[in-house]
């Protein structure tokens, strides 16, 4: 694809919707071209000057950034824990805790076995799984090798409530 044909947009739900995704995408592409690859380190370095279009996407107050990073690490710890034997015939470990959204901005984690037994929470989890599956499908839609898998999913996935 020629660079002139590239049109950048934000993924649904990102906190930066007020910032021009085309300008951000073009800046990231320019960094990739300049360096031969795009790395987080290069993005942060480019974002440091206040004039950079990337600058406003980052938290530059070190105390706030450190606290936010520790929350990020806590989410990683919670999501890294797996459990077995929560469902009949389960052989593979699954996430022990899943995020339960209480409002658009907040949420907490519940054990998977609690969520699976609560009809409302189970439906929310199922809706999230469908959304993630659709996002995965969009991400890899251009791979013809997955067409049969997409068709099988369509044939076997129950309809949303």
Quick one: pLDDT band at residue 161, thresholds 50, 70, 90? low
pLDDT per position as a tens digit, 16-42: 889 999 999 999 999 999 999 999 999
Query: The tokens of 92 are what?
Result: 């593979």
| One-letter-per-residue 3-state SS of the chain | CCHHHCCCCCCCCCCCCCCCHHHHHHHHHHHHHHHCCCCHHHHHHHHCCCCCCCHHHCCCCHHHHHHHHHHHHHHHHHHHCEECCCCCCCCCCEECEEEEECCCCCEEEEEHHHHHHCHHHHHHHHHHHHHHHHHHHHHCCCCHHHHHHHHHHHHHCCCCC
pLDDT over 90 percentage in the chain: 42
Q: Which residue has the higher pLDDT, 101 or 65?
A: 65
Instruction: State pTM to two decimals.
Output: 0.68
Tell me the average pLDDT across 50-67: 95
What are the φ and ψ backbone dihedral angles of 103, each rounded to 5 degrees? -145, 180
pLDDT per position as a tens digit, 106-148: 678 888 888 999 999 899 898 888 888 988 998 999 999 999 9
Residue-level length of the chain:
161
């Amino acid at each position: 694809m020629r660079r002139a044909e590239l049109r950048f947009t934000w993924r649904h739900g990102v906190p930066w919707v007020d910032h021009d995704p085309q300008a951000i995408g073009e800046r990231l592409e320019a960094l990739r071209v300049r360096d031969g690859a795009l790395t987080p380190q290069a993005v942060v370095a480019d974002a440091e000057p206040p004039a950079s279009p990337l600058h406003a996407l980052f938290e530059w107050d070190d105390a706030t950034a450190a606290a936010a990073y520790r929350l990020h690490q806590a989410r990683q710890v919670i999501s890294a824990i797996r459990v077995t034997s929560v469902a009949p015939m389960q052989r593979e470990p699954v996430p022990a805790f899943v995020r339960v959204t209480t409002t658009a901005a907040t949420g907490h984690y519940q054990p998977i076995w609690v969520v699976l037994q609560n009809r409302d929470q189970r439906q929310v989890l199922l809706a999230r799984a469908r959304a993630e599956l659709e996002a995965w499908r969009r991400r890899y839609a251009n791979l013809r090798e997955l067409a049969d898998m997409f068709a099988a999913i369509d044939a076997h996935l129950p309809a949303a409530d």
